[in-house]
Amino acid sequence: MMGATMEMGEGERLEAARRRRFWRILGWLAFAGFVAGVIFGGTFAIIGSGSPAAAVIPPVVIVGAVSIAVAGFLYGTWRFFVSADEIERQDNLWGSLIGFYAYSTIFPFWWLLWKAGVTSEPHDWAIFVISLISATAVYFWRKWRAH
């Protein structure tokens, strides 16, 4: 019948529910990461500035906050993994692998060049960001290639 909507089968309903759950988890993880980034970024900007406000934040509070953030990250990663389908896991596996390869290639060679006096000391944040960009690029390349 033209114009009539067909009812979804049980498998389609289950898949739609799984996808909604997946995107909901991903949304919460992104939101939690944003909030943690703002809090930690602001806190460490205050601490690094030498501001008198830095003395107000006891180290035990920072250790506790970092512990909660790490536990939340691990829990969120596990929730993401169990809600993702096998294709999503494969795309993440490839992205993670290339990100790891980028880090494990850049750092030792930059370190050797630094020890030889050719370059400046390795910049840990630069290597970290390059690794994340590499992982993200491969992940999105796989997504783009699949369509």
Q: pLDDT: is 117 or 10 the higher one? A: 117
3 is a domain residue: no
* Domain identity same for 56 and 79: yes
DSSP per-residue letters across 110-139:
HHHHHHTTSSPPP-HHHHHHHHHHHHHHHH
CB atoms under 10 Å from CB of 135, counted, come to 21
CA distance 130 to 110: 13
Whether residues 56 and 114 share a domain: the answer is no
Task: Please give the Cα distance from 146 to 40 (Å, whole number).
Answer: 37
Predicted pLDDT of residue 15: 80
Please write the tens of the pLDDT for every residue from 16-26: 887 888 788 87
Rounded distance between C-alpha atoms, residue 7 and residue 137, angstroms: 38
Stretch among 4-8, 9-13, 35-39, 100-104 having the lowest mean pLDDT: 4-8
The domain boundary, picked from 84, 114, 129, lies at: 84
The pLDDT confidence band at residue 131, using thresholds 50, 70 and 90, is very high
Q: How high is the pLDDT of residue 130?
A: 97
According to the per-residue pLDDT averaged within each range, which of 9-13, 78-82, 115-119 is highest?
A: 115-119
Domain end residue (candidates: 41, 62, 84): 84
Classify residue 39 by its DSSP letter: H
Half-sphere exposure of 18 (CA within 13 A, CB side): 13
How confident is the model over 51-96, as pLDDT tens digits? 665 566 777 877 888 888 888 888 888 888 888 888 889 999 999 9
Minimum mean pLDDT among 33-47, 91-105, 126-140: which range? 33-47
DSSP at 58: -
Specify the pLDDT at position 90.
93
Shared domain check, 66 and 109:
no
CB distance 68 to 97 below 8 Å? no
Residue 30: give the domain boundaries. Answer: 10-84
Which range, 29-33, 47-51, 59-63, 113-117, is most confident?
Answer: 113-117
Domain shared by 97 and 43, yes or no: no
Q: What's the mean pLDDT when you consider all of the chain?
A: 85
Residue 127 or residue 40, greater confidence: 127
Contact between 92 and 84 under an 8 Å Cβ cutoff? The reply is yes
